[in-house]
Amino acid sequence: MSWLSILWGLLLLLCILKPGIRSSADRLDGRVLELDDSNFDSAISSFDYILVDFYAPWCGHCQRLSPQLDEAAPILAGLKDPIAVAKLNADKFTTVARKYEIDGYPTLKLFKRGVPVDYHGPRKAHKLVSHLKKIVSPDVSILGSDSAISDFVEAVGTYFPIYIGFGLDEMVISHLAIKYKRKAWFSVAKDFSEDAMVLYDFDKVPALVVFHPNYNQQSVFYGPFEDICFWLHKEKLSYSSCSNDADEFLGDFIKQNLIPLAVPMNRETLKLLSDDDRKIVLTIMEDENEEKSQKLIKLLKAAASANRDLVFGYVGVKQWDEFANTFGANEDTNFPKLIIWNGDEQYFTVSFKSSYNMFSS
């Protein structure tokens, strides 16, 4: 082969490899890649995971999202399972936009080994990172030592509740881990010490421990676990039609503990509650941070612990007056105000005296 042929080959290679996707080093340097019609498919095939922002230059929401992606990109690039971040001007490069049916801006899609999945999670940088880490993680992480447990807890952060099955086979919880993958972290500890039992406050196995790092709350479920559904699943037989009390109890425990005992109401927790069919006991107060409000929140947690068939939430008018006003709370209201709410449009007010009798009986 002549030097001229080699030179032409190198020039051809440089033409094919567009800036931003030409090497593995570029892939992981934390920059947001700029894509167009000519290099989009190449970029998608170059990464196991790539988040693409389909934007328009004139779009105000897109302009506010852009710095959040710039902040998140280097963090996502440094994950154990790296996630590239890219953007495409869908208003200009319409071929790709039409292919992926982009009809609004900004639209975020996560491509998992080439397969697009719509991303509807939060868009602030740190929360976006937490959600994307969750999406690309294993359904159930296997932990083989005390140090592996502590490393896992530290790595997953504090945004989602964390479930750890001590002495459990992962297949016992795998179907529920898949169902709630975007709402919690799931793991099983295969080997652990008595120190771990003390730390996570359980005294026998098998046990499923759940804790909310942000709320300093923890619960333990001791079963039953072993049942006919587990064995059918293990033998790769029909599982979807299997129904029994043990699986129902486990499912209820996991679902009920996806949210803390007393839920501070905000836009994000409202999204969590949209998938929960329990009625909501909502306490409206003047200011969540007042000492008397903090004492009341402790009482709500105690009531919630004894009434898991209900959701207990609270909101301060000072924290979210727009939401509180929808229930008739204003400056003339005698606080605290207690509401029983179906999560939609129906609610009724009860007195604290009657509510004490209701929840303590």
- Catalytically annotated residues: 59, 62
Establish how many alpha carbons lie within 13 A of residue 294's alpha carbon, considering only the half-sphere containing its beta carbon.
3
CA distances from 48 to 72, 74, 81, 110, 337 (A): 17, 16, 8, 10, 51
Tokens 């079963």 identify what position? Answer: 223
Burial status of residue 88 (CB atoms within 10 A of its CB: 0-12, 13-18, 19 or more): buried
- What is d(CA 148, CA 154) in angstroms, rounded to the nearest whole number? 10
And the tokens for 129? 């990172």
- What is d(CA 165, CA 148) in angstroms, rounded to the nearest whole number? 13
Cβ atoms within 10 Å, residue 249: 15
- Residue 118's nearest CA partner among 106, 133, 127, 130 is 106
User: Reading across the β-sheet that carries 185-189, which strands appear in turn?
Assistant: 141-143, 185-189, 162-166, 207-212, 217-221
Q: Is residue 294 within 8 Å of residue 273, measured between CB atoms?
A: no
Is the bond into 206 cis (omega within 30 degrees of 0)? yes
Residues 6 or more apart in contact with residue 320 via CB below 8 angstroms: 265, 266
